[in-house]
Structure 1
Amino acid sequence: MGAIGAGIAALGAGIGVGMIGAKSTEAIARQPEAAGDIRTAMIITAALVEGAALFAIVVGLIAG
């Protein structure tokens, strides 16, 4: 059961980071002058998503 939870966490993180990248690319295309701020926010948000996913994967593997 833990492996299934870890897999779902990894899948969710992949979808989340993909959406972050898509939306930030769209935002940069709309306002190129704000590219630096958007990129910074994207990197911070992606790091938080990856950290939460890693935590969920570790907990899922330990619980299982």
Structure 2
Amino acid sequence: MELTTESVVALSKAIAIFGTGLATAWGEKVIGAAAIGAMVENESLFGKALILTVLPETIVIFGLVVALMM
């Protein structure tokens, strides 16, 4: 099986998106569990918990930018 330049670039793009998606999912899982635990004790932390839960989404945006630049 011979790898062409196009296939290597496509594989690199897939790895960039997959890696950032996996990291984002793991980050949101950890932050979401901690946020729910904090909101059980103090309901006024909802706004901060929501912002912290959304922050890992920037990782996927960076991965998308890298994939589009390839």
TM over 0.5: yes
Shift of 1:55: 1.8
* Aligned Cα root-mean-square deviation (Å): 1.6
Structure 1 segment 1-64 matched on structure 2, within 5 A: 1-29=12-40, 31=41, 34-37=42-45, 39-50=46-57, 52-64=58-70
TM-score normalised by the chain length of structure 2: 0.67
Q: Identity over the aligned pairs, expressed in percent?
A: 20
Unaligned runs of 5+ in 1: none
Letter in 2 for 1:47: V
Q: Choose between structure 1 and 2 for higher RCO, CA contacts under 8 A separated by at least 6 residues.
A: 1
Which aligned runs of 4 or more in structure 1 are off by greater than 6 angstroms?
none
TM-score normalised by the chain length of structure 1: 0.72
Aligned length: 59
